[in-house]
Structure 1
């Protein structure tokens, strides 16, 4: 059988930045601990690429949602972490391991254990197809942040025996109080941000109620543009009854549950993340990382916005994902793939990080 990389290199002469992503796994895995897969990223273009090790990328060492796994019985549950991350933060952190330099013809191989990251209990034993996330952020020769979609393949494995490890979220530090390993100054900062986050959520709910007409005909939804719906369409795409209800439901859940969130200030030491959570954590613990404290209180990409972002990840609130990061990528996602935008955490964070005055202005009141 001809390797995907061999075939691609033999039939295509690159004139632009291009990547090839290959995944390989065991044909048989007798239990979850034997489910170890390899990814290979090859630069098949004609220029050197500086790739970011974003959470969710195969270049990252974090237990994030890197793979798309399916079977006739369904998909496994994701049990890893979801994080608030921005490419600008990673590049400005000064850490050498936030990017990977890949020259033309060079490859990076990485081994990934899926134990503790995916739970196969519900779909059960059987044959699975998997592929890796194929979008990579990179810095071009002019220093501009861009993204590239790699040519990629899929592979299969047959899983039997033990289908899951112990729930990672239950193995975290014990829940002693609402704030763990936080200084008095940090507690004050969290409280300020949490109050502002609550206002964000309240304003988002008020806004969605103002523009949402249940089961409306398309022409009625189009008319909602004159009620300030452009803010919605910027972050979630064309007005659609089902999508609006999905977003509204997420914010309703956050409004109900966010007051129960707990904060950990001492566990995360990563300089390229703001915060992370385990989506299935019943205690709703938010792990705050050092860069979090440098953020402004409110607005786009703020402390308050980060709290909204992380709360949206919890399964109980809707379980948003990190399909893309940042304002530019989020608006692009909304216009091109609105069904995905309503499932992306940053799009929720960016919907309404404004003041009450801004809310009235958007609605034309």
Structure 2
């Protein structure tokens, strides 16, 4: 199942016996004959005795972002290829901001259902026709009265569906850029002159961060306190991944396309990892500081690592605290986590 089994023993899960959630994934019909019609409904129910305020984290079924929220697995255990987006998001900042639309509040016994269109988000070409199980990420973030966050894991009921006919859809996929993104100048779409100036400054600062990171790694080929802090126990293979990532980030962002059409107030930015060279900047990017941790500059680092031509990172953890824990507990995931690269780059 696509549940967060690595965290089952989380102390946060055990924090209150009165808190519990269930998550049911359902499809409109038992058979799909065209993946353009591949939709699911995720129903989250408060099965405990306490009212819960849950973040609409882009990685959770409460959000409609086309992230890898669902696991689509055929009857042979093969997972459908993901072709959606990777998003930068700060759960702590969103919780503190307290915007009503950032949360879902469920009283005991209440449920909420969120519809998800998976057409173009998952490609079933390599996994083929036949029976599939669709389950979902079951980690939810509870916003406490003091705006702190507590993790809770839902019990999941997966959907079963038979898929026939067309196996790939481009309905919700990104449109390929008309020109090569290996160009030497940044380009802008729907960005005001002020925002273009802010982006250019962020690119320059991100290049400085990447250069400093690259120089630090080359000067410490057997590891350092800074390396261990963000990437965990040193290994030659993981060291090489980080080194190569920062080597590329010294120059690559200066030739990317930057799109300012996203208005989501809770999100820094997003990219399609398989569609190299276009970064979509969102509402939170413009309110973030210019430099430092959680800034416009380290957002360029974060999003850049998602591209497969740079490294192909995921979003296993958001925020400094979670990233430090990830480095300690799972160095492999840490080196493949975008925020770990962002925080390493600014030496947070």
Rounded Cα–Cα distance in structure 2 between residues aligned with 1:322 and 1:353: 18
Would you say 1:201 and 2:242 are equivalent positions? no
Q: Considering fraction of residues, name the structure with more helix.
A: 1
Would you say 1:274 and 2:277 are equivalent positions? no
The one of 167, 170, 173 aligned to 1:166: 170
Encode CA deviations 1:207-266: one digit per residue, 9 max, x unaligned. 2233334xxxxxxxxxx4xxxx2222222222233333333333334345323211122x
Encode CA deviations 1:56-86: one digit per residue, 9 max, x unaligned. 1100022221112334373322222222111
Rounded Cα–Cα distance in structure 2 between residues aligned with 1:264 and 1:339: 31
Encode CA deviations 1:274-330: one digit per residue, 9 max, x unaligned. 111122223x11111232122222110011001111111112222212222111121
Shift of residue 27 of structure 1?
3.7
Deviating above 4 A after TM superposition, structure 1's stretches of 4 or more consecutive aligned residues are 167-170, 172-177
The one of 192, 201, 210 aligned to 2:201: 192
Larger Rg: 1
Shift of residue 161 of structure 1?
1.2
CA RMSD between the two structures: 2.5
Q: Aligned to 1:111, what secondary structure does the other structure show?
A: strand
Would you say 1:19 and 2:21 are equivalent positions? yes
Correspondence for 1:212: 221
- Counting only pairs closer than 5 Å after superposition, residues 88-237 of structure 1 correspond to structure 2 as 88-91=92-95, 93=97, 95-166=99-170, 168-171=172-175, 178-213=187-222, 224=223, 229-237=224-232
Rounded Cα–Cα distance in structure 2 between residues aligned with 1:240 and 1:253: 20
Q: Which moved more, 1:69-78 or 1:189-198?
A: 69-78
Rounded Cα–Cα distance in structure 2 between residues aligned with 1:325 and 1:242: 24
Structure 1 residues 260 and 41: CA distance shift in structure 2, 3 A = same
Would you say 1:243 and 2:238 are equivalent positions? yes
For structure 1, list consecutive stretches of 5 or more residues without a partner in the other structure. 1-13, 214-223, 359-365
Checking the alignment, whether the CA contact within 8 Å between 1:89 and 1:273 is kept in structure 2 is no
TM-score, normalized by length of structure 2? 0.84
The one of 42, 46, 51 aligned to 1:48: 51
Rounded Cα–Cα distance in structure 2 between residues aligned with 1:34 and 1:186: 38
Q: Aligned to 2:113, what secondary structure does the other structure show?
A: strand
Q: Aligned to 1:179, what secondary structure does the other structure show?
A: strand
Q: Aligned to 2:140, what secondary structure does the other structure show?
A: strand
Rounded Cα–Cα distance in structure 2 between residues aligned with 1:329 and 1:21: 24
- Counting only pairs closer than 5 Å after superposition, residues 278-317 of structure 1 correspond to structure 2 as 278-282=272-276, 284-317=277-310
The one of 72, 87, 93 aligned to 1:83: 87
Checking the alignment, whether the CA contact within 8 Å between 1:66 and 1:133 is kept in structure 2 is yes
Q: Considering fraction of residues, name the structure with more strand.
A: 2
Q: Aligned to 2:286, what secondary structure does the other structure show?
A: helix
Shift of residue 168 of structure 1?
4.5
Q: Which moved more, 1:103-112 or 1:254-263?
A: 254-263
Rounded Cα–Cα distance in structure 2 between residues aligned with 1:187 and 1:164: 36
Rounded Cα–Cα distance in structure 2 between residues aligned with 1:24 and 1:338: 35
The one of 319, 322, 333 aligned to 1:326: 319
Rounded Cα–Cα distance in structure 2 between residues aligned with 1:339 and 1:106: 39
Correspondence for 1:70: 73
TM-score, normalized by length of structure 1? 0.81
